Chain A
Amino acid sequence: MGEKRSRSFYVLAAFFAAYVLFLYGPMIAIYILSFQGPDGGLTFPMNGVSLVWFGKVFSGSGIVDIGAAFKRSLELGLVVMVLTVVLSVSAGMAFRKSFRGATFLFYVAIASLIMPSIITSLGIALEFRLLDDFIIKSGAENWTTAMGLFTSGLGAHLTWTLPFGLLIMFAIFNRFDGRLEEAARDLGATPWQTFRHVVLPIILPSVVGIGLFGFTLSWDELARSSQAIGSVNTLPLELQGLTTTVTKPDIYALGTLTSGVSFLVIFAALVVILVLQARQRRHGSDAGKGMV
């Protein structure tokens, strides 16, 4: 690597810029279009600027009950986030020592990650259908279904978020200095104290990252939810349904809102991570460099 930037640097930088434009360009286009005037259509040019379409989304006219779907998605996302964080961190800790079935669990997690979503989704749907049949047969007359947002839907989302959480935990603990824990133990800390005062503060920024993954992946999850969510829909499912029927910019407004939530969460998480890292640096530790 010479001191001067080579020509290939500029070529690659241009390529990278083009890629970023490719990533963001279309999204920015719909954010702009969602402020389309009342007479505007689905494409450019803009016919004035207004918030009409946002109003339409909130008043719910023309669109199925978006507010409810919005709330459902939010609740599910939060539950998934908490569960992902708790389970990933404990599994991550467990994986540091070998235990029976560790390799098996690891491969199952990877398989769950790369399994085509539709198959997982179909499987969960079948599982709950059979369960329902079984319950009805065994005498429960009024039983409708065990399928729902917080049973099958939650499970479907967890098969998607947990592998991510686990992989992040692996990445953290591969760079984690085990001597810190030994030192704590030598000083007489209980295992819980060691975890609470030594391990947790060090891994906290990454744990926030896991939470971020947990929430956003659930918030936007579509393919796995499609068959497994039961009778109600989450926001992405409603959105997908709308793509084929809606001809007005309110779908863009909805898209802008949904992304708004995503960006808010991402931004909040990043700020928290930065603050935590700054605090670690201030306290003179270099252990927090193990950011993913």
Chain B
Amino acid sequence: MDAKPLLPYTDDRDTRAFFEAAREHRLVYRACKDCGRGLHPPTAHCPWCGGWNTDWHPAKGGGKLHAWTTVTHPIHPAYKVPYTLVLVELDESPDVRLVGRIDGAPALEAGMKMRVWFEAVADGVVLPQWQVV
């Protein structure tokens, strides 16, 4: 029996728009329309300027690699080792960094250009993933 992966709760009032967009293969991020700063994890209130004028914005899907770790010790049966967790900074905002997963143990360097793709992990559940450009 193949183990089932952990699925995101996609109905949170602050974060569900991210997953709704991913389902349509769109990457969005929350940002403040007053000060322009990104907000991740997403919040309705902007901690940078103190305003409430925040909304979801489309991202083009490019980023750069900030850090990574190759997991070699298995923790969860659905996640076969080795796999590499990547921390990617969104081109549109240095305030927004997203975590993705690459199978295996690729050779990586800080600052590498990354590109989003969309992985269907269950019926109606899609995760933005990242690959080296």
Verify that A and B bind, or say they do not: no
